[in-house]
Amino acid sequence: MADDGGRPAAGRDGWRAAAAQGLYAYGLIVRMWVRSTLAYRASFVMMAVGNFAACALDFVAILLMFSRIDALGGFSLPEVAFLYGTSGLSLGLADLLLGSMDRLGRRVRDGTLDVLLLRPAPVFAQVAADRFALRRLGRISQALLVLGWSVTRLEVDWTVGRVLLVVLMAVCGTAIFGAVFTTGAAFQFWAQDAAEVQNSFTYGGNALLQYPPTVFAKDLVRGVTFVVPLAFVNWLPALRLLGRPDPLGLPGWVDFLGPAVAALMCAGAALAWRYGLRGYRSTGS
Amino acid sequence: MTDPAGTDPEPLIDVRGLEKVFTVRRKAGRLRRVREEVRAVDGITFQVPRGEMVGYIGPNGAGKSTTIKMLTGILVPSGGRLRIAGIDPARERTRLARRIGVVFGQRTTLWWDLPLADSYELVRRMYRIPDAVYRANLARCVELLDLAPLLAVPVRQLSLGQRMRGDIAAALLHDPEVLYLDEPTIGLDVISKAKVREFVREVNAERGTTVLLTTHDLTDIEQLCRRVMVIDHGRLVYDGALDGLRAAADGERTLVVDLERELPPIDGVPGARTVRVEGPRQWLVFPAAQSAAPLVTAVAERYPLVDLSLREPDVESLIAELYARGATGTEPGRRTPDGQGAPA
């Protein structure tokens, strides 16, 4: 967890203490929101079902497409479903954990970020946990269902290694999307209305990753590989898993760079966050 | 109550040459932007010993809130040295947070959607307040601030006065050493204001909590603080006793005399001049620093005096006077010994 606005960290111990403090505060605030959500159970169930249905409609669109065609960009329905499930799961997890961060711009504008700076907890944890929305489990469960179905239909020999690769994909994908959420939030320290830019990379990126890379122009694929490396969320590892060639013809080891890319993006996001918080100027009154 | 700050070996709040410079980009032409430096706080120095209540006043945009934000760790200073209870707010914000309490009149520090009681529970956990301390403090706040009927109400449904009381309680649950009150009575009715002031006074008296109060309502200062600091254009223009402020601002007092009958304006009383005559009643003004006694004697000796009353200048006009002089640049940072500066 990135702590205070670039205030010099007091060595590794200080950093660890801040991380522990952040997790503790995150847990506290999340628990509180979950409790207050569950106080209105019917409302929560409806919201979660709504979230589930909204995501499911995406997949219905894919199903409709496949009622006319047998393959999309050379990918069968279970293969597309696999891409859909892995991307949706990663985004869903990141959205659940950090999805409230796009409210940062509003907090900066109306000055309520000041209040978070008065509490004995890292601001990052407080912003991330703010309005923790349990209804986002809807997206996660829908993605898991599609992923589960695709796994039973894929002609893949499920060795332990391959199962672990899928788990690793989900973890790295979550980290990559989480880094995008955080970087986008950090950007809102300067441009308070930048939430839409960030959304185009997260929700928009997810819409992209649901389809096989072969249906897109090569320049676009290059963009999401080298510029905003969303391709590491599922495309590259999934291609390896499904035994498909990489449309960019990159060397094989690139498929396994997911964890490194995720770690780099998280480090970059942490730096951006620190820098943004450090430069925070508060409002007039 | 306090010795003149600065001689205190270890003041709780120690501010030396504090500065905050904002760079603003201003539009100049279609695409060009001009960078401009705004010195919101321009070299402020003061100390507050433990247990003191200090008023911090100034016109809008003078740098009050910016100072408070640096003292609480919200903003990182551009220059100068700053210690609260030995802690540098910019470096150890979270450690400082456990030792200070902050109330903003303009916005709540509570969780908007939570009932008051849940907000307090969250504060307890976040600040890791020991159970016994928490229960005692909460009980006391609930009693003194009449919070019992409000505990189950979500913060967003509270009235301004209720919310303010709720906020003050939240700021005190963890036994802070310093309490910052940023316009705590703004928008409150007379009764709520009185209640808030009474409570702050009690907390200060019983706990020895140091209080730094910014306000536009000078009654707050008159009722709570003996010492007052005035800031204008980012600089301290006065730091000292409230009474001394009157002298510093060259305020004038007014002597209203009722004579037996209508007479021409009173004349020849040294140091005083008659500004108004209305039948047998006359108004004389004289410098606030001057004693009224010889003046009364002089008038009584020569005129048939029936009754008299003395009017102090109100603080508002004093401060307006100070601001006006600050703008033309008279000596800043004037100080009188605390509590001693009262004119006889």
**What does pLDDT average to over chain B?**
84
Give B213's pLDDT tier (boundaries 50, 70, 90).
very high
CA–CA gap between residue B341 and residue B319 (Å, rounded): 16
Closest CA of chain B from A21, distance in Å: 9
Q: Provide the percentage of residues in chain B whose pLDDT is more than 90.
A: 40
Give chain B's length: 344
Q: What are phi and psi of B340, to 5 degrees?
A: -105, -10
pLDDT at B138 over 60: yes
Pairwise CB contact (< 8 Å): B127 & A32: no
Q: Is A121 on the interface with B (CB under 8 A)?
A: yes
Is A28 at the interface with chain B, CB within 8 A?
Answer: yes
**B 124-163 residues with CB < 8 A to A:** 125-127
Span B306-321, average pLDDT? 77
Q: Does B94 sit within 8 Å of A118, measured CB to CB? A: no
Residue type, A38: L
In DSSP terms, which residues pair with B34 in a beta bridge? B26
Give the one of B93, B107, B114 whose C-beta lies nearest to A111's C-beta.
B107
Q: Evaluate if residue B2 carries a pLDDT over 70.
A: no
From A284's Cα to the closest Cα of chain B, the distance in A is 8
SS3 B103: strand
Enumerate residue ranges in chain A where pLDDT < 50.
1-10, 285
Q: Which residues of B touch A18 (CB under 8 A)?
A: 94
Per-residue pLDDT, B326: 57
State whether residue B312 sits within 8 Å of chain A by CB: no
In this predicted structure, what is the pLDDT of residue A141? 94
- State the DSSP string of A182-231: HHHHHHTTT-TTTHHHHHHHHHHHHHHHTS-GGGS-HHHHHIIIIIS-GG
Point out the residue among B91, B108, B126 whose CB comes nearest to the CB of A28: B126
B343 — pLDDT class (breaks 50, 70, 90):
very low
Asked if the Cβ–Cβ distance from B122 to A28 is below 8 Å, we say yes
Task: Compute the average pLDDT of residues B122-149.
Answer: 93
Asked if A7 lies within 8 A of B93 by C-beta distance, the reply is yes
Residues A11 and A19: their CA atoms lie apart, in Å, by: 13
